[in-house]
Amino acid sequence: MVTTNTMKRVGMLAAVAASSLALAACGAPNPPVGPVDLRSGGSVAAPAPSPAPGPAAPQSLDGVYPVWAGGAGTVTFAVSGGRVALQDVALEPGWRRTGERQGEREVEVRLTDGTSTVTVEGELDEGRFKTDMDLETPPVPGRVEYPVGDAGTVTIDVRPDGVGLVGQEAAAGWVATVDADDLREGQVEIHFRNDGAGRSVAFDAGIDDGLLNVDIDERAGADHFVRGPGR
């Protein structure tokens, strides 16, 4: 038999529940709820501290590196297991090899057509792979466009007393920076960098001892951002 007191208590509990629902409907703030861990069946879990970042995994330099050889053709290096080797030299008609030097961590090839000379070098150095292309050729007045690896292109204006910058174009993912001081001195120096790929390219052109000298130096791996060719 249900007593009058029991009915009063039931009525009070119902009133409290109805009051709570009314407050929620009116926008009353709810207590904060922690993240839900779905792997534990939907139970509420306290927030876990973020793990400390671990050391970055070393970047592998193993691979094949084709290098544009200043119009002489293409020189291709292969890097594997901490060693660099000359894989292929594909020459344009009229060009020939004049020298070659090979070691476990460095390879150099010298090319000529009788008027111009090109030196291409590949080197493993303290966690990075470097390729240097050095072209020396008689200056012919006018505009010349150079490919800068896959970082973009540079167009210069060649004059008897120096070179000027016509323009540069960076490929997607690359950023180009022009050295204004060198422009005032009749030289062109541009640095391309790609943070995501861990690579950089330096382009440098000027007149030296009556010859047009063009350097295109690429870096891949640790400490790849350099401030100038050979440095």
What does the pLDDT look like over 192-225, one tens digit per residue? 999 999 999 999 999 999 999 999 999 998 654 4
The separation between the first and the last C-alpha atoms of the chain, rounded to the nearest angstrom, is 97
The encoded tokens of residue 192 equal 């391309």
Residue written as tokens 């057509």? 113
Q: Could you read off the pLDDT of 135-167 as tens digits, one per residue?
A: 999 999 999 999 999 999 999 999 988 999 999
Residue 81: both structure tokens together:
């297991």
Predicted local confidence at residue 226, as pLDDT: 41
Look up tokens 């501290």; give the residue: 49
Cα angle, residue 79 at apex, residues 74 and 82 outer, rounded to 5°: 150
Q: What are the DSSP calls for 17-61, one per residue?
A: HHHHHHHHHTTPPPPP-PPEEGGGTSEE-PPPPPPPPPPPPPPP-
pLDDT-derived band at 27 (thresholds 50, 70, 90) equals: very low
Q: Domain ranges for the chain, please list them.
A: 59-128, 138-231
Which tens digit of pLDDT belongs to each residue from 88-105?
A: 999 999 999 999 999 999
Residue carrying structure tokens 């080197």: 123
